[in-house]
Amino acid sequence: MSNEELIQAYYSAIELKLDEDFIEMLEKELIQRNIKIVNNGFSR
C-alpha cells in the first residue's frame, strides 16, 4: 500500500466510523512510516 493509499484509508475509516481497532492499526502504520496526520475537521 502506498503512503497516499494509507492516508486515504485512514481518513475514510474515520469518516465511515469504522472499528476503532482498525483506525488505530492505520495510525500505527502512519507513525511507523513517519507520516504526520492532521485532523482537517475529522472527528473520531
In the numeric block, the cell 492516508 is attached to 7
Q: What is the pLDDT of residue 27?
A: 94
All residue ranges of the chain with pLDDT < 70 are 39-44
pTM, 2 dp: 0.80
* Number of Cβ atoms within 10 Å of the Cβ of 41: 5
In three-state form (DSSP H/G/I as H, E/B as E, the rest C), the secondary structure along 1-44 is: CCHHHHHHHHHHHHHCCCCHHHHHHHHHHHHHCCCCCCCCCCCC
Q: What is the pLDDT of residue 44?
A: 60
**Check: CATH 1.10.3470 for 3-32?**
no
